[in-house]
Chains A and B, each alone.
Chain A
Amino acid sequence: MALLLFLALALVALLAAVGMVTSRNAVHSALFMLVNFAVYAIFYIMLNAQFLGVVQVIVYAGAIVVLFLFVVMLIGGEIGAVRSSLRRYTYAAALILGALFVAMIGLGIAQTISTDQTVAGAPAAGGVEAIGMALFTTYLLPFELASLLLLAGMVGGVARRYKALDED
């Protein structure tokens, strides 16, 4: 049952990803991205990461996709086809490289993981409490560093405001 659900969702995620990359219109791309992210949220819950599942919806769907859509609306969504200005061989090279990469990683993972399934301990439940405890004890330093990162992003946003504001 879970396997069937996974396969159906995986198909949706894959199609959404392909749709996003090949779409001619940036708005469509952003919507495909939203589908992809939503499927991931379900995967996280299936993988015992309930908190991340919720955060995925809030951060990605709620903030990131909206931000993308916002900018696309500002500058116009028609952005041309994939191959509009690309030489054919570059395109082929990129596809071949990608196929090789997938084959390598996929085969490697399939061979490595299936042989040592035994390592799995009790699956960690990623509820709010567990994540919160971990973030504020063991992972305090990266958590605080992430706040520095947000500060940098914020100052950066301020620094990039409109020219007109430059004269105080």
Chain B
Amino acid sequence: MNLSSLNWNSLLPELVIVATSLIVLITAVVGKVSRVDRIARGHALAVVTLIGLLIAAGLTIMQLSQPASDFMGMVQSDALSHYLNLVILLAAALAVLLAWDYLGRFTYSFSEFYSLLLLAVAGMMFLGKSTELITLFVSLEILSISLYILTGFNRHQLASAEASLKYFLLGAFASGFIVYGAALLYGDTGSTWFSDIAANASGGFLTLAGFALLLVGFAFKIAAVPFHMWTPDAYQGAPTPVTAFMSVGTKAAALVALFRVLQSAVSAPYETWAWALAILSLLTMTVGNVAALRQTSIKRLLAYSSIAQAGYMLIGLVAGTVLGLQAMLFYLFAYAFMNIGAFACASLLESDDWSELQDASMANARGLFSRQPLLATALAIFMFSLAGIPPLAGFFGKLYLFDAAIDAGWLWLALVAVINSVISAYYYMRVVVVMFMEAPDESTRVRLPIPDSAILAIVIAVLGALLLGILAGPSFASLGQAVVAWRF
């Protein structure tokens, strides 16, 4: 074996991201020497980051039709990982736009922020590609470690440090379960490659316990009930751009990795896992939605809503069919637009007072429509989309997911999900009612002037939520072709 025999091309997007992360670190040093204004330096780093993300996205799109498996079968570049990469890169780019102005309010450590963000992106991309347990675990840790730090990035705020501690302790605990599960699978088969595990698993105790422990660990990472305790705190305490990014990116990457892991469990009947996942999905959406009902903070409401959304996405894994996978990928795209858009709007409603829990409370949005009609409309569009109201992207995403569930014989799960959507409509609509029906008073608060970068992010998200809804049919079909071409 030598270096040139490895197919580096298949990892090109990831390598670009890692290189950008290093460039960001070096640029910061150069910037410091040249005595450029600190804020301008931050903007320059954001531009470098965006360029890196765009190049990686371009490379991913160029590779779309070339499935490849390499590095001794440790990574697999296929339609699944390419589309996952696009979701992650999109989420990261929108998060950078949000951070553009937001970050300068509490820190000057721009280079650390962007470089950790890029490392988290690289970790997620590797996680979605990995087909071997060691690679999977290291990638998962890269993204987790980066996100622990990013969560606690606001040093002026106790809530941010607390969120970081809680996220870290529970995340490390979950990692313990994931490695123990991986160790048992290795003990069962003598190999850490998914393909060997699929071929040699005994189907006995070690296989079952191994997969069960892995499932518990992944449930922590995608914030599935009953392993969701860290989510509301981490999401509320973290700087909003970070929350927006990790709510989409971590879920997407962990779901895809979980799918790959479970695919290798074919020797155990898939129904066993489908049942476990179905119960997980049921609990996740129900608890998430019910808890969201009584929230008074928009950010915390969105955190619970993102738990519920993870429950919907799990339906795609429960179905375990091409249709299910296709629906999950489509929903991830829709979710990236509408969820980050909603967080973008929420970030504009926050107060600047770091001494208290800086928060976008519901009262801050009171009568927003009469003050900032466009912002209120945008937030309303995201809320409608999250609630699943046609013709927005969220509606079609849910439709495809429920359809996939019914198609695979999970009618009751689809019904529960529909009931859940109705419950969730209540709290999403409450935000809209507060903005449109109530009169503004002294508690109404918008950060003015609204920064251009945030406007750009919101416009992109609105367009995404609208277009993905209007063009749902064709885009869903093209996802389907790619997924089918890959496997099954």
Contacts and interface: CB of A to CB of B under 8 A. Distances in A.
Direct contact of A and B (CB under 8 A): yes
A166 B138 contact: no
A159 interface: yes
A111 to B, nearest CB: 7
A149 B145 contact: yes
B134 interface: yes
Contacts of A149: 138, 141-142, 145
Contacts of A137: 1
A119 interface: yes
Given A142-B134, A168-B32, A155 B205 contact: no
* Residue of A119, A159, A160 contacting most chain B CB atoms (<10 Å): A159
A152 B153 CA distance: 14
Nearest to B133: A142
Interface in A114-166: 119, 137-142, 145-146, 148-149, 151-153, 155-156, 158-160, 163, 166
B206 interface: yes
B3 to A, nearest CB: 8
Contacts of A109: 205-206
A151 B134 CA distance: 18
Interface residues of B, number: 45
Q: Is the interface of B mostly helix, strand, loop or mixed?
A: helix
B71 A155 contact: no
A166 B18 contact: no
A139 B134 contact: yes
A86 B75 CA distance: 45
Interface stretch (B109-117, B240-248, B282-290, B430-438): B109-117
A168 B108 contact: yes
A148 B119 CA distance: 8
Interface in B249-283: none
B386 interface: no
B49 to A, nearest CB: 14
25 contacts: A109-B206, A112-B202, A112-B205, A112-B206, A113-B187, A139-B72, A141-B71, A141-B75, A145-B126, A148-B119, A152-B142, A155-B25, A155-B116, A155-B119, A156-B112, A156-B116, A156-B146, A158-B112, A159-B109, A159-B113, A159-B149, A159-B153, A163-B155, A166-B108, A166-B109
Interface of B: 1, 6, 18, 21, 25, 32, 38, 71-72, 74-75, 107-109, 112-113, 115-116, 119-120, 122-123, 126, 132, 134-135, 138-139, 141-142, 145-146, 148-149, 152-153, 155, 187-188, 190, 202, 204-206, 209
| A-B complex: 3 closest residue pairs judged by Cβ atoms | A108-B205, A159-B112, A156-B149
